[in-house]
Amino acid sequence: MSTASVEALVDGLQAIVGPAHVSTTPPDRVAYARDLWPRSQLDRLAGEPPRLPTAIAWPADTAQVAEVVALCRATRTPIVPFGAGSGVCGGTLPVRRGLVLDLKRLRRVRRLAAEDGVIEVEAGHNGERLERWLAHRGLTLGHFPSSILCSTVGGWVAARSAGQCSSRYGKIEDMVVDLEVVTGDGQVRRTPRVDAGGFDWNGVFVGSEGTLGVITSATLKVHPEPRARAFRGWQVPDIQAGLTVMRRAMQAGLRPAVLRLYDPLDTLMVGSDGDKKAGGGPLHTLKQGLLGQGSGGGALRWILSHPRLGNGAVNLLPAPCLLVTVSEGEPGEARATDDALAAFAREVGAKDLGEGPGRAWLAHRYDVSYKQSGIYRKGAFVDTFEVATTWDKVAALYAAVREAAGRHVLVMAHFSHAYPGGCSIYFTFAGAAPDASAMRDRYDAAWQAGLDTALGAGAAIAHHHGVGLSRRSHMGPAHGDARRWFDALKATLDPDGIMNPGKVFGEAP
């Protein structure tokens, strides 16, 4: 953009949102040139400068968002909607520069209809604050992503998020009743209620990652807060036995809040009692390193630079795995669910570890996610890769991704977000290489292998982290002809292509 065009854009933005709510300062532009995608962190380490947005604006309400979108449409300025920037797929990176539209000032609760079990809340509302607000009223949304402290309602809807208790409350798409969206043509639109009959139009925007419009508010389902919880840990003989317990429980109609099965390496990381106590030897070094603890990094780098050896050693670990369960609801329901789970667990020969692992999980539920910078400081990288598939394919998909990605990185996984039809696998990839550029190559190779394998197995290439830039290469094959439907929607709702260009499907073919 020429200097004159930038000045005209900034003048226009200031007239809409007020001068205090527009910035073109270098610190703000640098801060808004990122989200938590590890690949862009590796770019920085390799010395590649980020692409900065032209400006950042903080609108106060839907009317201002609509005016900003109209201005950007008139000036052909790309818009990147921004919730809290906790996305891990590059969804908020301003690849075509333009305007980053931070929605955090849209944070009002517009309506609570507790009797109907719905709340309408604006898109920029922080997740944890919303849960606290509801808890004061004896309610819960039941949506607890690990990033709840640093993510927004709009980001959840846009990136198709899942909370830790999705087996009981569903993913965000199961919670949406209707949405208010400012589409790329500048119109303020409200989707028909999910129960309006016929199509569910919310589905057009859930997972659209800002490519069709800016979500400004969402009406979501709420539930009474659970009055009781039952915690349990099980040592299951192996992964297959744990998956059998999860499948049978969900298919029997149980709705535990948490069913979380760790593979042998992840079991070691968590500790068989779920409290992350460290053991000894190379695995101790690995564990400390991956938890961002310990000093130095030579040993960790060595282990992670030899992934075949590392993954081979993991194959020698004892097969028994940790399965954590949390059941909640009314006291009778929580107890009954826990008892029924126990019956399924005993049938596969699981050993009861008592309440400890479940309670430890709850106490540490948001901890591990904030340990990554320690790993990067040690000259290594880590990322997570979540996919989902039907029960008949879960074990094979797990083995295939471990095999394919394990040539490049150390791989561990847990199985969570269980549903009657299947579950998600949440892989953690960790790697190292002699320099930043080689690290990036290794990272790319692991992702490519993981995505190719998931696609080849007919699995969903994402479960809850969204697509952004990291998965867009595989969206075409994953969605086939539906890509053309997206283009049609785009032509109708964002005719000038200003909404978050380059994301999800990338550019038109």
Ligand X SMILES: Cc1cc2nc3c(=O)[nH]c(=O)nc-3n(C[C@H](O)[C@H](O)[C@H](O)COP(=O)(O)OP(=O)(O)OC[C@H]3O[C@@H](n4cnc5c(N)ncnc54)[C@H](O)[C@@H]3O)c2cc1C
Q: Which residues bind ligand X (CB under 6 A)?
A: 35-36, 80-88, 91-92, 103, 123, 145-147, 151-152, 154-156, 158-159, 161-162, 209-210, 214-215, 369, 464-466, 468, 500, 503
CB-CB neighbours of 328 under 10 Å: 24
* Least spacing, CB of residue 299 vs ligand X, in Å: 25
The first and second tokens of residue 269, run together, are: 């990381």
Total count of residues recorded for the chain:
509
Give the list of residues 6+ apart from residue 299 with CB closer than 8 angstroms, or none: 282, 285, 289
Q: Which is nearer to ligand X, 267 or 416 (CB)?
A: 416
Helix (H, G, I), strand (E, B) or coil at 458: coil
* Least spacing, CB of residue 207 vs ligand X, in Å: 9
Alpha helices in 457-502 (DSSP H): 475-479, 482-493
Q: Which is nearer to ligand X, 209 or 494 (CB)?
A: 209
How open is the CA angle 22-27-29, to the nearest 5 degrees? 55
| Closest C-alpha among 116, 175, 110, 112 to residue 141 | 175
* Least spacing, CB of residue 151 vs ligand X, in Å: 4
* Least spacing, CB of residue 354 vs ligand X, in Å: 26
Q: Which is nearer to ligand X, 154 or 297 (CB)?
A: 154
Q: Which is nearer to ligand X, 152 or 325 (CB)?
A: 152
Q: Which is nearer to ligand X, 147 or 337 (CB)?
A: 147
Chain-centre distance for alpha carbon 360: 22
Evaluate whether 140 touches 170 at the Cβ level (below 8 Å): no
Cα dihedral across residues 209, 211, 214, 217: positive or negative: negative
* Least spacing, CB of residue 160 vs ligand X, in Å: 7
Helix (H, G, I), strand (E, B) or coil at 188: strand
CA–CA gap between residue 270 and residue 96 (Å, rounded) = 41
Q: Which is nearer to ligand X, 35 or 338 (CB)?
A: 35
Chain residue at closest Cβ approach to ligand X? 155
Q: Which is nearer to ligand X, 92 or 453 (CB)?
A: 92
* Least spacing, CB of residue 503 vs ligand X, in Å: 6
* Least spacing, CB of residue 395 vs ligand X, in Å: 23
| DSSP per-residue codes, 230-256 | EEEEEEESSHHHHHHHHHHHHHTT---
